[in-house]
Amino acid sequence: MPAQSEPYDGPAIVTFAKELEWRRKQAGLTKKELAEKLGFADSYVGQVELRKNLPSEEFAAALDTYFKVDGLFRRLWERINETRHLTILPPGFPEYLGYEEKASHVRVFSTNLISGLFQTEAYAGTIISLMMGSATPKFVAERMERKSIFERENPPHTFLVMDEDVIRRSVGGTEVMREQLNYLLEVGQREKTQLQIVPYAVGFHAGLAGSFIILGFENEPDVAYTEASAEGILLKRRDRVALQVVTWDLIQGQTLSTEESLAMIQDAMEQL
């Protein structure tokens, strides 16, 4: 897996890195010397210590064998693997999920990719693989579980608006994208769901600043969630949420009708 610019901050990853550094220094070895003994690139050893890359199962096994620590690094690797999905969640998103489960109204705007609430397993798997290096079934299943809010006895009223680019961009290949678009057509037919698209013809519009979600509740103030550059922000202050509502209104004012939007999705699917 390629190194990233910012270090991972998951507790298990931090523990692995500190344990590696401590045992290497106790053995009086440089990163390059340890790498040579283990058969790994010295840059990789440094990346793992700096938490800019994740340790592989093979690397953990090699450390256990060399340092004779009775499976310590293997156990730490397993813990990293179990909690790895938490390391890719943007700040604010775990708290947002708690609100999402009880929302009575959901307004979603997507500018680049289809929102996780409306993804198929294959589409979600493609995205998760890109972010994590592999699409572990557990992580895909957790994303699919979010859809359970639409299966409640009283599901939320849902308003889904997407930039046309979302349905034209191929993710995962022809079959994955065709299945995903067909699923969107099904979503658009739900009784309490309104699906609309902002067409290319609009040109520049307020939604190009980024995707966001506004959640409404029966007896609580609205909250909003937005992401940019892998940073998530949960908005609870009324003035900031109000700005998102204004942005939503500006975007929705430039959408196609529901019927035109579903026809565009059908056209995109037929062109694949």
Q: Assign 241 a pLDDT band (cuts: 50, 70, 90).
A: very high
Say if residue 225's pLDDT is above 80. Answer: yes
The pLDDT of residue 4 is 64
pLDDT in tens, 5-37: 667 777 788 899 999 999 999 999 999 999 999
Question: In this structure, are residues 115 and 100 in contact, taking their beta carbons and an 8 Å threshold?
Answer: no
Write the single-letter amino acid at 68.
K
CATH superfamily membership of 11-87: lambda repressor-like DNA-binding domains (1.10.260.40)
Mean per-residue pLDDT over the chain, rounded: 90
Three-state DSSP string of the chain:
CCCCCCCCCCHHHHHHHHHHHHHHHHCCCCHHHHHHHHCCCHHHHHHHHCCCCCCCHHHHHHHHHHHCCCCHHHHHHHHHHHHHHHHCCCCCHHHHHHHHCCCCEEEEEECCCCCHHHCCHHHHHHHHHHHHCCCCHHHHHHHHHHHHHHHCCCCCEEEEEEEHHHHHCCCCCHHHHHHHHHHHHHHCCCCCEEEEEECHHHCCCHHHHCCEEEEECCCCCCEEEEEECCEEEEECCHHHHHHHHHHHHHHHCCCCCHHHHHHHHHHHHHCC
Instruction: Check whether 88 has a pLDDT greater than 70.
Output: no
Judged against a pLDDT cut of 60, whether residue 156 lies above it is answered with yes
- CATH 3.30.870 matches 93-270: yes
List the chain domain ranges. Answer: 11-87, 93-270
> What's the confidence (pLDDT) of residue 171?
94
pLDDT in tens, 98-126: 899 999 999 999 999 999 999 999 999 99
Q: State yes or no: pLDDT of 81 exceeds 90.
A: no
Tell me the per-residue pLDDT of 157-215, one tens digit each, with 9 for 90 and over: 999 999 999 999 999 999 999 999 999 999 999 999 999 999 999 999 999 989 999 99
